[in-house]
A and B are shown apart, each in its own frame.
Chain A
């Protein structure tokens, strides 16, 4: 049976892993390779590396660290941040990334999803969506790496999920911004609504604070994977304990 995935997210800034609360006030949590190996050993199913400053500063992620991560890891990993062209995506895949994830560049140029999907296959193109609830409507924001450059896109989340999938996204990572970093639980209602319209694998992001939150999001929103950062970086939830507890609850988990 296909296992639900536990995915630590490593926000990368200037070659270090950082974590902020609601995308602000970043603190240093460690080196890229150290954390990659720590999570691999702990039983992470996959890793996501987001270069959180790349989009806003108009930079690209360094393929150097992508290659180093690929050399040491024997689990899949995804690279995100500042990937705006088919060539940039290709360079990261060639360096060993299994998937690339695009967010703000896809919003500015949705055709990019199709171009990348045609060039490398749907399976390695992930579309990340930062969604914010506003008066009962879910709306997409872009350039969320910097609070001063963050903007409303005028797009509704459900419509953007559908469009991204039609254009060739192979997976959706939905980051529910109201929940991010505050550890009050995933936004089950929003994720369940997105699940209804999302034909590709869906990954929940934002809000994990305790083991029950993971159980709830798998059982109630039927997501394929759950992504989290601070609870893993700060060892509030040890991954082996999380996976063993979920497995005992009857959720399909790779132990």
Chain B
């Protein structure tokens, strides 16, 4: 299994690689277009600011590369958000990869502290091979201030003040708002399911 973690220029790419290592799968962190295109599985990681990350990605000419991928792709946290058409952070608005129709904006936590940080429960919206063995009310580890609303693309949702997408899918593109690499057995199962997806 050739697994590529796209070097989005964000911090904390190695923890994703370590998580696959714990599953016995080696991965390669790269921004080289050919390596990414040839991989059997592609991870789009990311933390931090969307405008900063998209600028890095544009500088590396990765927008058409990612848009053209046909193999299973998994976006994690900011990486998931970047799959959408547009993202809004405060007064900054940025174009994402546009492979999922929709928008990412501020998570309305109402009276609750923000960022949404910690272990929260998942609820199934649609069945998918990525969710094999994952039951409702299992916990995943979230750290974010922005989110996408529940939509046609939502596989699992989560509630924190308001409901938002926890796991999404559009064709071969999937994404987790939480960090599967830090979500204990639940996260590990999702990463394994991703590796086991039909090509």
- Identify the A interface with B (CB < 8 A): 1-5, 45-46, 67, 70-76, 90, 93-99, 118-124, 170-171, 198-202, 224-225, 254
Q: Does B170 contact A (CB under 8 A)?
A: no
Q: Are B184 and A75 in contact (CB under 8 A)?
A: yes
Q: Are A170 and B119 in contact (CB under 8 A)?
A: no
Measured CB to CB, the nearest residue on chain A to B14 is A96
Per-position 1/0 for B74-108, Cβ under 8 A of A = 00001000000000000000000000000000000
Q: Are B49 and A121 in contact (CB under 8 A)?
A: yes
Q: Are A94 and B11 in contact (CB under 8 A)?
A: yes
Report the minimal beta-carbon distance from B102 to chain A, rounded to whole angstroms: 21
- Identify the B interface with A (CB < 8 A): 11-15, 18-19, 21-22, 47-49, 78, 112-121, 139, 141, 143-145, 159-160, 179, 181-185, 187-188
Q: Are A121 and B182 in contact (CB under 8 A)?
A: no
Task: List, sorted by A's number, 9 A–B pairs whose CB atoms are closer than 8 Å.
Answer: A1-B120, A1-B121, A1-B159, A45-B119, A74-B182, A98-B182, A120-B47, A198-B113, A200-B115
Return the contact of A98 from the options B15, B116, B120, B184 (Cβ within 8 A): B15
- B-chain residues with CB within 8 Å of residue A95 when the two chains form the complex: 14
Q: Are B49 and A201 in contact (CB under 8 A)?
A: no
Q: Are A2 and B184 in contact (CB under 8 A)?
A: no
Report the minimal beta-carbon distance from A1 to chain B, rounded to whole angstroms: 6
Q: Are B141 and A71 in contact (CB under 8 A)?
A: no
Given the interface pairs A123-B145, A124-B47, the reply to whether A96 lies near B15 with Cβ below 8 Å is yes
- B-chain residues with CB within 8 Å of residue A124 when the two chains form the complex: 11-12, 47-48, 143
Most buried by B among A67, A123, A202: A123
Q: Are B139 and A98 in contact (CB under 8 A)?
A: no
- In the assembled complex, the Cα of A121 lies from the Cα of B179 at a distance in Å of 15
- B-chain residues with CB within 8 Å of residue A97 when the two chains form the complex: 12
Q: Are A122 and B15 in contact (CB under 8 A)?
A: no
Report the minimal beta-carbon distance from B113 to chain A, rounded to whole angstroms: 5
Report the minimal beta-carbon distance from B88 to chain A, rounded to whole angstroms: 15
Q: Are B145 and A3 in contact (CB under 8 A)?
A: no
Q: Are B19 and A74 in contact (CB under 8 A)?
A: yes
Q: Are B115 and A170 in contact (CB under 8 A)?
A: yes
- In the assembled complex, the Cα of A73 lies from the Cα of B188 at a distance in Å of 11
Q: Are A94 and B12 in contact (CB under 8 A)?
A: yes
- In the assembled complex, the Cα of A59 lies from the Cα of B145 at a distance in Å of 32
- In the assembled complex, the Cα of A4 lies from the Cα of B112 at a distance in Å of 13
Q: Are A70 and B118 in contact (CB under 8 A)?
A: no
- In the assembled complex, the Cα of A36 lies from the Cα of B93 at a distance in Å of 40
Given the interface pairs A121-B49, A170-B117, the reply to whether A90 lies near B11 with Cβ below 8 Å is yes
